[in-house]
């Protein structure tokens, strides 16, 4: 089955700097890659996703890139703000299968 | 639009006791998921429903865990008997069937077994 690896487990960046979180997946059939943000005491919330027919997607300060050949994808957050502090999860699934496999998460700290 | 509603938010029980969690998905969402989230880990799928049918329960420890979604809407997850290692957050999520798009999560139920 699918296995998703996520790095780093913890990341601290100065406010205003950029943050990058990287994930790899094992199943070449996976073609849908969502990213979730989880704040303390809340459930994960989708922040951006990408499908395998594109290599990059951007939404304001966040962007995702996908390299299907290498089977890795990344989340980029620019101009980080205090409210970006949270745990971020990458995930992978196969279109139409609805089975979502999550990475172990990255705890992002935005330093003042 | 109301989100995924879970109850209770917190539950503390003694080991060997039974416990049940309830989930009300977003209206119109046919797919319902139960995930287990241990501290510092990502969500792990326990069971997935398409309407009232459990289409993936391979990760559900069936000796003590059970789930149901009788009318294809609300769902309950039960543990009997609970063990110390069951302490975790139990998350429910829902999505529109077949769209393979956003899964909306509830706030979860934090279970502590003492």
Per-residue pLDDT of chain A (112 residues; tens, 9 = 90+): 889 999 999 999 999 999 999 999 999 999 999 999 999 989 999 999 998 888 999 999 999 999 999 999 999 999 999 999 999 999 998 866 777 899 999 999 999 9
**Chain position carrying tokens 């951006």:** A48
Contact A6 B42 (CB under 8 A): yes
CB A8 within 8 A of CB A107: no
Residue B64, pLDDT above cutoff 70: yes
**pLDDT of res. A53:** 84
| Tokens 């039960």 found at | B78
pLDDT (mean) for B90-113: 86
Q: Chain B partners of A36 at a C-beta cutoff of 8 Å?
A: 105
Counting Cβ atoms within 10 Å, is residue A60 exposed (0-12), middle (13-18) or buried (19+)?
exposed
Q: Quick one: tokens of B96?
A: 């529109």
List the one residue out of B70, B45, B29 whose CA is nearest residue A93.
B45
Q: Does pLDDT of B99 surpass 60?
A: no
pLDDT in tens, B8-30: 999 999 999 999 999 999 998 99
Query: Which residues of chain B lie closer than 8 angstroms to A89, CB-CB?
Result: 42-43
Read off the pLDDT of residues B31-47 as tens digits, 9 standing for 90 and up.
999 999 999 899 999 99
What residues of chain A, 62 to 101, have a C-beta less than 8 Å from chain B? 89, 91, 93-101
**Do residues A90 and A76 lie in contact, with contact meaning Cβ atoms separated by under 8 Å?**
no
Q: Can you give the pLDDT at residue A13?
A: 98
Residue B86: both structure tokens together:
């069951």
Interface of B with A (CB under 8 A): 4, 31, 33, 40-45, 48, 50, 56, 91, 93, 95, 97-98, 100-108
Predicted pLDDT of residue A94: 82
Share of chain B above pLDDT 70, in %: 95
Bridge partners, residue A37, by sequence = A45, A88
């Amino acid at each position: 089955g699918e296995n998703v690896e996520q790095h780093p487990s913890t990341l601290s960046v100065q406010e205003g700097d950029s943050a990058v979180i990287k994930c790899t997946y094992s199943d070449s059939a996976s073609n849908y890659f969502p990213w979730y943000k989880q704040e303390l005491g809340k459930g994960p919330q989708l922040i951006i996703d990408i499908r395998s027919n594109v290599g990059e997607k951007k939404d304001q300060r966040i962007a995702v890139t996908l390299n299907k050949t290498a089977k890795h994808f990344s989340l980029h957050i620019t101009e980080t703000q205090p409210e970006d502090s949270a745990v971020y999860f990458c995930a992978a699934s196969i279109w139409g299968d609805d089975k979502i496999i999550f990475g172990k998460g990255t705890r992002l700290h935005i330093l003042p | 639009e109301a989100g995924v509603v879970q109850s209770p938010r917190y539950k503390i029980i003694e080991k060997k006791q039974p416990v049940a969690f309830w989930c009300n998905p977003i209206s119109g969402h046919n797919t319902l998921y139960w995930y287990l989230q241990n501290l510092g880990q990502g969500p792990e799928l326990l069971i997935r429903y398409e309407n009232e049918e459990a289409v993936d329960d391979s990760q559900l420890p069936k000796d003590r865990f059970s789930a149901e979604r009788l009318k294809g809407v609300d769902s309950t997850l039960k543990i009997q008997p609970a063990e110390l290692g069951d302490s975790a957050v139990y998350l429910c999520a829902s999505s529109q069937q077949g769209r393979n798009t956003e899964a909306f999560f509830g706030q979860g139920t934090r279970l502590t077994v003492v």
